[in-house]
Structures are given as C-alpha cells and as structure tokens.
Chains A and B, each alone.
Chain A
Amino acid sequence: MALEPILTARGLVKRYGRVTALDHADFDLYPGEILAVIGDNGAGKSSMIKAISGAISPDEGEIRLEGKPISFRSPIDAQKAGIETVYQNLALSPALSIADNMFLGREIRKPGVMGSVFRKLDRGAMEKFARDKLSELGLMTIQNINQAVETLSGGQRQGVAVARAAAFGSKVIILDEPTAALGVKESRRVLELILDVRRRGIPIVLISHNMPHVFEVADRIHIHRLGRRLTVINPKDYTMSDAVAFMTGAKVPTEAIAA
C-alpha cells in the first residue's frame, strides 16, 4: 500500500497498577479503509482504543495523526482533532432530546447579540442539521426530533450515536461494539451505515466480537493479543476460524506483519 497511514500508534504502554493492559502496542489506520480490531477479553483492545480516542493517556508511546504527533488529554481534544468515537454505552443523555444529544458539547448559538451576549441556542438550526443527518443515514423513522432519547429503541439510539459521529468525525470514526446489543435487522442497518460512512471517504475503526460482521465489512483485521498487535490479516485470505485461532493463541501467524 503506497498510501501513508492517517493514524498510527507506536509502542503504546499503559499500566494499571501491576496489570499491563498495553505492552508496546502498535496500530495503523489507512485512509478510506475499515479496520476491524479483534481480540480476546482482556487483550487490551479497549485500552488501545481509549488511548486513541483520548479517554486515557498512555504511559509511553507515540500517536500520530496525519504524520503529526498528538497527545490527547480528554475525549474533547480528540473530537477537536476530528476523531469521533461511538462508545459501547453510546454516551447519550437519556432525558435530553435527539438534537440536544447530537450537539452536546458543540452547540450552535444564535447569530448576533442573542447568541454572543445572551448565549441563546439556535434550536432551529440544530434541529434541521440533526434531521438532515439522520435522513442522510436513512434513519428518519424517528417521528419527532425533539423526543427524549430514552423513548427511542436500542437500534434507534445506536443510529443517533453513529449519526453524531458521522456528522462530526472529519478524520476518523471509531465504533466500539456497535452491533453487540442489536437484533438481526438493526445490526444489518448499522453495518450499512458503516459502509455508507466509508463510501464518503472517512476511515473507520471497528471493534467487534462478531466475526461474521467483521469479515463482511472489514478491509483489514488487526488482531490484538496480550496487550500488543499480533498481526494484521486480510479477511479475504483467512477464515474466521483462523482469526479466532490467532486471537486465542491456538495458532501462530506464519508471516510477519506488514505495517
């Protein structure tokens, strides 16, 4: 691949007391691809993703976005840099409306004095934007953009969270177990959403335990084991059982990883 990776990590280390969650882990994401990250429970996938999305800061190692070293001190920093994450718990506020949730932390204010002096929110603009984004992703089965998120179904909530990430993630979108809590039909909808986002040129990191989903949408699969990257495979060259074998240590990959 002649392209330069958009997001790289080298030698990430994160320790929690005596536990080493990340042991010199590496990571590469290329423009326009879907990279799946798989690994056993406790392999350190979540810690690595949190380091990239700013939720934790690694003890050692370097992260580069478009070649420039970055160090995030909070998820807000990562968002400012164009990295959006959809967390497993979705990070939505149940009592707030869909529009309020989509703009949480980056609200639009009214133009003129009402906005600059009285800090009044531009409800109309935010609702229109939210409605457009949801329709764009084919999610407009929601009747009222002002309904509270707690009145939505699990699939609809997932849709709102993905739409938020897709709307604001300019460089990278990270999805942590996006289909774990969903039914067959809703999972299919979210996978379509993911492919749709890639079509618009934004690279995606997909963390999942669901092998069929991973093999269906991923361009490359990053296999994480014992706190570091074991290998990166092309899903066309391996079977799901190979991937599971690598992930659990039943089999050792024969080739060195091409980073």
Chain B
Amino acid sequence: MSETTTATQPAQGSQPSQEFEKVLSGSATQVASFDTNDKTAVQKFQHFLHGNPSAVPLIVLVLSVAVFGIVLGGKFFSAFTLTLILQQVAIVGIVGAAQTLVILTAGIDLSVGAIMVLSSVVMGQFTFRYGLPPSVAVLCGLACGALCGYINGLLVARMKLPPFIVTLGMWQIILASNFLYSANETIRSQDLAAQAPLLQFFGNNIRLGGAVFTYGVIAMVLLVALLWYVLNQTAWGRHVYAVGDDPDAAELAGVNVKRMLVSVYTLSGLICALAGWALIGRIGSVSPTAGQFANIESITAVVIGGLSLFGGRGSILGMIFGALIVGVFSLGLRLIGTDPQWTYLLIGVLIISAVAIDQWIRKVAG
C-alpha cells in the first residue's frame, strides 16, 4: 500500500507543519488568568450564589422569618407557630421532593397531586372495602403510586412524548379513576382511628415544649436528607443532573438515559404515594377531593427554591426552603389578618423574582 505512483510534490515539512504556526513558539505562554482580586462586593456575591444555588431561597427564608418575627413578635416567634408552619408544609415538601427529581431531568410532573390522592384512596379503600390488613393496604397504595409513575416514565422515555403532555393527560386520567373508584366517598377519621390507626401513622407527633413535630414533618426532613445524599454522593444522582443538563451528551458519555428517566418517574410516583399516606395523617380522613393543588404548590416550591425548569441545575435543599417560604408567608399574613389573596399575590411576585434572580446568577457562567 505504500507504493509511490504519482508523487507530485515532496511531503509536508516537519511539525509544526504550517508556515503561520511557526511563530507559535514565541507566543505568550500565559494561560487564562482568573481575576479573583479586583471584584466588587456584588460580583463576589454573584459568584457565591452561582456556586451555592440554594443560598438565595435560604436568605429569603431567613429574612421573611425575621420580618414576620419583628412585626408579629411572640405570636409568630413561638416554637408552636414555627413548627405549625413545618406541619403545613410537610405534604408540599414531600410532593416537592418528587417534583424536584423530575424537574432536574428537565421534565415536569403535573400528575403528582393526583397520584398522591389516588394512593391515599387505595390505602383507605383496600382496608375498608376489601378488609385487607392496613399494612398490606399501605403497600398496595405505595405500589399504585409507583405504577402510575412508571407509566409516566415509560411514556416519556420510550414513547418520547413531552413530559408536560404525558403528565397533563395522566393527571386527568388518575384523578378521574380516583373519583370513579372511590365513588366520591370519604372514609371518616373516627373509623380510621378505630380500625386502621396505621393509616394515620404520620399524624402522630412528638412534643418538645411548645414545639410539635408530627411524623409527617420528620418523614419530610428524612426524605429530603436522603435524596440530597443520593443526588450528590451517588452515581445515580450525578446521572440525574447529567440527563437534565444534556440528554444526548449523557447518552454518548455512557449513561442509559431511558432507564434513568423511567427510574426517576417511578421513584417520583412512589414518593407521591408516601405523600398520600402522610396526607391521611394530616387531614385524619381519606378524602378523594383532598390535595387538589399539590401539583401547582410543588412546582411553586421548586421554582422559588431556585431549581431550573430547564433541568440539571439546583439543589433539593432549595426546594424545601421554597416550600417553607410559602408556608411562612401564608401563616404570617394570616396572623396579621390580611385578605388571603395577598398571600397568593406575594407568592406570584416571589416566583417571578426567583426566576429573575436565577437569570442574573447565571450570567456568571456566560
């Protein structure tokens, strides 16, 4: 193969082969220098926020607690009131954890609330209609949530349908199934307490002085801590971020993107079912009409928490701070005695500000 046939010109010279590259040996050897000294305080702050995406909601949370504390005094700044906020936030926090996983993969899950309610109805009805032991009924409820999530995952990953459309459809399907199956029937709190106290497990509480921690609150904190660990310290967690960042790049780099997406949606469904169980503990009864706004509330918590709806950016801790900010505003404004519409108005302002701040922080990387 090395026979010479028509060598018209001598081969190219030795390296560097091109004339214009010869001057490279004399070029500056200085590499990119990072100017870390002469930055204004604002720029330093911007860099800090870029490295710590959950710092913004934390600052807002601390400020809002401080402001309401000053305005309302002891009425707000008591162990009882502050733990009451935690109780009110517990359900949104658990559902928000599920939403966080999905949004980190650049998806969105509109069916979280519906999965939660259907799972709680399955837990209640399996116990009372079929006479199953409550522990088995709870397992069936958790399986029901995981199955709904698995269907979402299959449709998104295998059928390549947009997550918004898939979960919009599943929201309606699951909610309708919920009403058809339960015949719009509520299981009363007294019956649950008498026959299946396990279903109200998350309503139990621990009292420390004036502070009241329900098991639901503890479950939320443990769940978020666990997911924080998984997202930051395991390969699966890094893959969630990689898939949300750039699914094609992740695939080529060696991540099984389809399997990853199915596992994320399934886990999200399972967490929603857990939220359904906690919901029974919170409201005492099994009601097919409960938790109607869980999907919007969870997305609100995620957005205020500084997570990007385009995926791959943000921390689950931000989500919990976002949920707490909403909780602080709701209760604080109610204690002041304003029209509840002011709460919604302010939450709307917070959502838009959160995204505006996110854009500003991102200019660092520009």
Contacts and interface: CB of A to CB of B under 8 A. Distances in A.
Interface of A: 1, 55, 74-76, 79, 85, 87, 89-96, 100-101, 104-107, 109, 118-121, 141, 143, 148, 150-151, 153, 156, 184-185, 188, 191, 212, 215-216, 220, 232, 234-239, 242, 254-255, 257-258
Contacts of B20: 184
A164 to B, nearest CB: 8
Given A105-B255, A234-B2, A212 B235 contact: no
17 contacts: A79-B254, A89-B248, A91-B250, A93-B249, A100-B238, A105-B254, A106-B254, A118-B234, A119-B233, A119-B235, A156-B32, A184-B21, A184-B24, A215-B12, A232-B1, A237-B5, A258-B1
B6 A93 contact: no
Given A121-B238, A184-B20, A95 B249 contact: no
B252 A119 contact: no
A91 B7 CA distance: 40
B191 interface: no
Contacts of B208: none
A79 B255 CA distance: 11
A118 B4 CA distance: 63
A188 B248 contact: no
Interface of B: 1-9, 11-12, 15-18, 20-21, 24, 27, 31-32, 34, 229-230, 233-236, 238-239, 241-242, 245-246, 248-256, 312-313, 365
Given A215-B11, A235-B12, 8 more contacts: A74-B256, A93-B242, A96-B242, A121-B234, A184-B21, A237-B3, A238-B6, A239-B8
Contacts of B17: 212, 215-216
B32 A141 contact: yes
Contacts of B229: 118
Contacts of A141: 31-32
Contacts of A236: 2, 7, 11
A103 B229 CA distance: 18
Contact of A188 (B21, B230, B249, B365): B21
Given A95-B313, A119-B236, A121-B233, A153 B5 contact: no
Nearest to B258: A74
A148 B31 CA distance: 18
Nearest to A216: B17
A101 B11 CA distance: 40
B217 to A, nearest CB: 25
Nearest to B250: A93
Contacts of B251: 74-75
B24 A185 contact: yes
B247 to A, nearest CB: 10
A8 B8 CA distance: 31
A91 B249 contact: yes
Contacts of B242: 93, 96, 100, 104
Contacts of B21: 184, 188
A121 B241 CA distance: 15
B238 A87 contact: no
A106 B229 CA distance: 19
A212 B16 CA distance: 10
A120 B9 contact: no
Contacts of B1: 1, 220, 232, 234, 257-258
A90 B27 CA distance: 27
Contacts of B230: 119
Contacts of A91: 248-250, 252-253
Given A184-B21, A234-B1, A93 B245 contact: yes
Contacts of B12: 212, 215-216, 235
Nearest to B8: A239
Contacts of A121: 233-235, 238
Contact of A255 (B5, B241, B313): B5
Contacts of A104: 238-239, 242, 250, 253-255
Contacts of A96: 238, 241-242, 245
